[in-house]
Structure 1
Amino acid sequence: MKRVYKITLLFGITILVASCHNNKAPNYQYFPNMYESVGYETYAESDAFKNGKVAQLPAEGTINRGFEPYDYENSTAGYELAKANLKSPLDSLDRNSEKGKILYEIYCTSCHGNAGDGKGKLVEREKFLGVPSYKDRVITEGSIFHVETFGLNSMGAHANQLSTHERWLVADYVLKLKSQL
């Protein structure tokens, strides 16, 4: 008799479990937005923010990750201040003239030439005229860094191509070229 009760109980539990499963009506989902997220358009209206827009501007006073502030403005006065006051933060261990030479050859040689004499390939082919030789100019590491950062005359800025450290390496290499001319 016990055996009949056990079999009946097992059969009843099996029917109960099988009857709860329905593929056409799945179980209730808690937090359905976690499973099926709502896609927002970039500039669509939303109640989530105070101004009613999805895309938000960065908070005031924040700076981009990796951004290093530069205290000299892009003007003649800023150039003169950088020329007089700006010094390289590189110590003797950070000054890698081989890397500076490689970067100079990539970004500067086409106009300024391998020796810094202002006779690069683009000048020889008359694409740019009036590129000065380093020996004819009064330059400092600060003025070189400033020109690399903002550009000057027909030379464009290289702040997007070279990091701050790389610009200091190139400035150091340019001073070595100037001393050899």
Structure 2
Amino acid sequence: MLAMNKTSIVSIALVALGTVAILSSCKDKRSTGLEYAPNMYESIAYNPDMKNPNFADGKTAQVPPAGTVPIGYTKFEYPNTREGYEASKAAVNPFEVNEKNLAQGKQLYVAMCGPCHGDGSGNGHIVELGKYPAPPSYATGNSSRGGLMKDLTPGQIYHTIEYGLNLMGSYASQLSPEERWKVVMYVNQLQKGQQ
């Protein structure tokens, strides 16, 4: 009799549990039930475009304080002016010329510069379409700022990558300062007619 009572009690408990589960699942189809860590769904942080009573101007997105520099940001000290370009002649590539840096520079050059500059002689895929004029050859061409392309210093090449020139836009957002210097290193090889 005791065994029958245990079996009955377990059976009744399972039926009751099943009934509760079925009834609780039928109450509201839009309900997801209990929320675990609701802050993952309903952020307590302000969105950048929301009004924010914590600031005097009521905006969440604030302008950084004057003189602050983002982490990892390296400022190129020469401005985007003719004088800045001329002064950039003094800038020196901080990276050692070695096979690893040249290989990385070549890879970046092919991806970023190659479509227009090609192998350094201005024969990129974009130019072959006939919609844009060919950029000057690094080894034999004349710079639009005066002088020969082969005489451009690393600083002047970096300045052009940083700010752009003529039809070439700035690559400051696509290449980090380290990557720009490695591209400069590879362009220096192209100036010598080496690849």
TM-score, normalised by the number of residues in structure 2: 0.65
Q: 2:87 aligns with which of 37, 57, 81?
A: 81
Q: 1:63 aligns with which of 58, 64, 69?
A: 69
- Distance of 1:68 and 1:81 partners within structure 2: 18
Larger radius of gyration: 1
The 3 A distance-change label for structure 1 pair 51 and 94 is farther
- Distance of 1:92 and 1:124 partners within structure 2: 32
- Residue 97 of structure 1 aligns with which residue? 102
Structure 1 segments unaligned to the other structure (5+ residues): 1-35
Q: 2:159 aligns with which of 142, 146, 157?
A: 146
Contact 1:95 1:169 in 2 (8 A): no
The 3 A distance-change label for structure 1 pair 139 and 49 is same
Task: Let me know the Cα RMSD of the aligned residues.
Answer: 2.3
Correspondences of 1:1-181 after superposition (within 5 Å) = 42-44=49-51, 46=53, 48-82=54-88, 84-92=89-97, 96-114=101-119, 116-135=120-139, 136=141, 137=149, 138-180=151-193
Amino acid at match of 1:117: S
Structure 2 segments unaligned to the other structure (5+ residues): 1-41, 142-148
Pairs aligned (count): 143
Percent of aligned pairs sharing the same letter:
39
Amino acid at match of 1:106: A
Moved more, 166-175 or 63-72: 63-72
The 3 A distance-change label for structure 1 pair 37 and 71 is closer
TM-score, normalised by the number of residues in structure 1: 0.70
Runs (4 or more) in structure 1 with deviation over 6 Å come to 36-39
